[in-house]
Every structure is written in structure tokens, then in C-alpha cells.
Structure 1
Amino acid sequence: MSFKRLPETIAYVRITGHCWQQGKIEGEVRAGEYDWQFQWCFRQGKLSVQPSLGRALIQEPLGRFLEQSDYQLEPGGDYAFAIRAEF
């Protein structure tokens, strides 16, 4: 039996700041040839990612990662997660 390996890209996340009082986490994410800055307002469930180039590739997987990991994320921390797509 032959299994075809699914494409995978590792996204690297760096948290640059957070403010629990305002309900906000900010950071940078890099995947493949793309680099973005993000701001996640977790109380409203709003994630903004800039620049717009390639944003559709990262917005949903980054949102899932942040929702699952939010209380464990520290400013200056480096994190990574896998995306089932090739960038």
C-alpha cells in the first residue's frame, strides 16, 4: 500500500506583545516565503493580519493556533505549528 504524503508547511510565530487588560496579543508569523504581522483581539475573536499578500493562506490556521495556545503564549516567545498546505 502506498501512502501519498500530504504537503506541509511549518509556520513560525513570535509573540511581540500582549495586554490582558485590553484582550490583545501581537506578533509576527513566517511561513514559506511569507512574513506577516498580526494582532489578535481575543475578547472579540478578531484576528488582523498584515500585509494582505498571502493573508488567505495563514489567517485560518493562525487563528486556530492562537485559540488553542493563547494562555501559554509569552512575549518574546517563539512557537511553531504545521499547516497542511505547501506555501
Structure 2
Amino acid sequence: MGSHRLPQTTAYVRITNQSWQQGKIAGEVRANQFEWQFEWCFRRGELSVEPSLGRALIKEPLNRFLEQRDYQLEPGSDYSFTIRGEV
């Protein structure tokens, strides 16, 4: 009886910058061989991720992670979360 669950990938997040005045959190996220820079304008709910290669895979799960954890995120700290599916 094989289960038909999707493979899972762990994404690693490092917060590099945070400004409550500007309403922004910035950082980098890695998953497998990919690496992206992101900036999240939490007051507007806008997340930008660069470079574009592989962005479609990370943007939605990263957005969910940031929304759930926003007040706990600190610059210089490392976090991780699981992505369902392969990156």
C-alpha cells in the first residue's frame, strides 16, 4: 500500500532586514539548489521574490509562512518550513 503523498522539500529562510516603520521584512530563502531574495511589504500584503527562476514554486508557501510567523521573525535568525512538492 503506497501512499500517494507529494514529496516534501524543506525551505530555509534567513531574515536580513526588518523595518516596522516601513512595514517591510527582507531576507533570503533556499530550497534544494535554488536561492532567492525576498522583500515582504506586510502592510500591503505584497511579496517580491528574485530571481524569477523557480519563483512560482516558492512564492505561495513563503507568503503563507511569513503571514503565519510575521511577529516572531527577527533579523539574523534562521527559520525553515516545508513545501509540499518538489523544488
- TM-score past 0.5 threshold: yes
Correspondence for 2:9: 9
Aligned residue number for residue 31 of structure 1: 31
Structure 1 residue 48 displacement after superposition: 0.2
The residue aligned with 1:73 is: 73
Q: Distance in 1 between matches of 2:2 and 2:76?
A: 42
**SS of the residue aligned with 2:71?**
helix
**What code does the residue aligned with 1:67 have?**
E
Residue ranges of structure 1 left out of the alignment (5+ in a row): none
- 1:33-52, aligned counterparts within 5 Å? 33-52=33-52
Looking at structure 2, the residues matched to 42 and 6 of structure 1 have their Cα atoms a distance apart, in angstroms, of 30
**TM-score, normalization by structure 2:** 0.95
Unpaired runs of 5+ residues, structure 2, are none
Q: Percent identity?
A: 71
CA RMSD of superposed structures (Å): 0.9
Q: Distance in 1 between the 2:60 and 2:6 partners?
A: 18
CA distance in 2, matches of 1:84, 1:33: 16
Instruction: Count matched residues.
Output: 87
